Amino acid sequence: MSEELKYLNLMKNVLSNGIKRIDRTNTGTLSLFGQSFRLNVSNSFPLLTTKKIYWKGVVEELLFFISGKTDTKILEDKNVNIWKGNTSREFLDKRKLFNYKEGEYGPNYGYNWRYFGKKYILINENSINDDKGIDQLNEAINLIKTDPFSRRILVSAWNPKVLDEIPLPSCHYCYQFYVDDDKLSILVNMRSCDIFLGLPFNIASYSLLLYMIAHITNKQPYEIIFMLGDAHIYLNHIDQCNEQLLRDMRDFPKLSFNRIITNIDDFKYEDIKLENYNPHSIIKADMAI
């Protein structure tokens, strides 16, 4: 089976069998619980071809997560506006985060990857906090190198203690690595999965993370597995899904790096080389906020 077809079959299943549910955004969804799929990424990079994926956004957001920073204006300055809706003044105020500046997303994703448990200091404060927290990402990398059979090569973005400090708590909340000789795989857990807009982006982002960590640990990227809690299609995305399902699949692109890198913090946008990406045109849809 084509790797892209696995994603499209998930979409078909939710369209055909999903249960109508009200959601936080009041948009409405078709939803199934507990879906999963796995993609072999050893010979190609799973950037969907049945619609064009926003590659610059994928790369810049992942580099932002890896940095552990919390000011999404850093992305906006690069003309990547994917977090703008969920860190707007209106959205922050709705979450009662009146002391956050616009663009601030709090102790979320990358902050938890790099500083788990560290007390969060607002961007506009000058407080000093000597507690470094736990750098889960580097600990996982070190385990891949030194204890590859460990069952604890895991990074969590879900900290129940600080959920009230986060505008949008992590949808992809945990990932785990598995080493088999020279092959490296990743298992990604999601509590909430927007199949049309979000999931293609997540597939590309975590595949890129897998490639990056395989590169610095001298492994080969092998498989990415997704475990989805509430897997849903928003009701205002149904027409777009049906359009995508009519399109033929094309070959996935290839991904490589332009130089040898040994530290996860040293990757830059220009280091990442994507070749032979020939997708169909973009299919526009509104993000539910």
Catalytic residue among 171, 174, 193, 241: 171
Q: Is 171 an annotated catalytic residue?
A: yes
Q: What is the CA radius of gyration of the chain?
A: 19
CA distances from 273 to 56, 95, 133, 234, 262 (A): 12, 39, 33, 33, 17
Distance CA 97, CA 45 (A): 38
Residues with catalytic roles: 171
